Amino acid sequence: MKPKKTYPAELYLNGEWLSPDKAFVSVFDRAFMFGDGIYEVTPFYCGKPFRLQDHCDRLKYCLQQIKIPFDCAILEHLMMQALSRSGLANSDAAVYIQISRGKAPRTHYYPEHAEPTVLLYAFPVVLENFHEKRWKVLVSEDFRWQRCDIKSTALLANTMSNEEAIAGGFDENLLVHDGHFTEGSHSTAFFVMNNTVYTHPEGPHILSGITRKVVLEICRDLGISYEERPVNIEELDRVEEVFLTGTTTQITIVESLHSKEKQIFTAQKGEITKRLQEEFLRRTRE
């Protein structure tokens, strides 16, 4: 069964706070025409932002990569306003930010002098008890574009993959490119082999996950060996643990991996993942 989603009661759009039924953008907005925009999701634990600067830095990087001029300095205040106006100032929540190139006559090249469209809203998220989840994950071909480091609103390939997983009774996908695992459709992938944690290196094939960054920091602090390299699908028989990370996924254990025909991995143990979960939980509640 697909998770139920709801609209926010209020959102920020281009300088105004509006109800969703009063919020409109032009049909010539570049995000509508081309998916020409960037988005970011920032978590708040009991109303406190977690790794806010990292999320803002990633947003700036992505905007720079596609040459959308925008001053991100206003966003922190708007995020806190969104939480307060939504009654989430002291709750676990997240804030969604989307910045498109704006309205312009349709062209494949970037238009001059377009004014960015800015959308922002807060929504409640259940961030507790992530350590109790056990996910079934579908292994899928990675047919996305070759700039996955850009957090673009053009997510059709991701949604196609995730629809296949959810419709099949799975919780997420794990994508494979040229025989190597890259990441999930909306998460970062980690593998544990012989007490060492492995994850795909940063670059155009994956998004530079903020939770990924935190996990690697925790590995260093706890003395857990890790290596940033692609894991080949042929190595699955050596893999002992798999977990996925993300802003709202946090650190979630993968119980099993499945191809379209059969189950291809079953978790053997979870000691390292549990250590990482415990320390991550502590850091988010500091």
Among 87, 116, 136, smallest CA distance to 29 is for: 116
Q: Would strands 225-228 and 196-199 be described as parallel, antiparallel, or unpaired?
A: parallel
Ordered alpha helix ranges (H), 50-131: 52-65, 75-85
**Strand, helix or coil for residue 236:** helix
Distance of alpha carbon 215 from alpha carbon 1, whole angstroms:
30
The conformation of residue 160, written as its DSSP 8-state character, comes to H
> Of the listed 60, 67, 133, 151, which one is catalytic?
151
Q: String of b and e for 240-265 (b: at least 16 CB within 10 Å)?
A: bbbbbbbbbbbbbbbbebbeeeeeeb
Measured CA angle at 216 (ends 211, 221), to 5 deg: 120
Distance of alpha carbon 263 from alpha carbon 145, whole angstroms:
28
Question: Catalytic annotation on 151?
Answer: yes
Residue 141 amino acid letter: E
| Half-sphere exposure (Cβ direction) of 264: Cα atoms closer than 13 Å | 14
225: its two tokens = 């060996």
Distance of alpha carbon 31 from alpha carbon 91, whole angstroms:
31
Distance of alpha carbon 209 from alpha carbon 99, whole angstroms:
19
Ordered alpha helix ranges (H), the chain: 30-34, 52-65, 75-85, 156-167, 210-222, 271-284
Point out the residues that are catalytic: 151
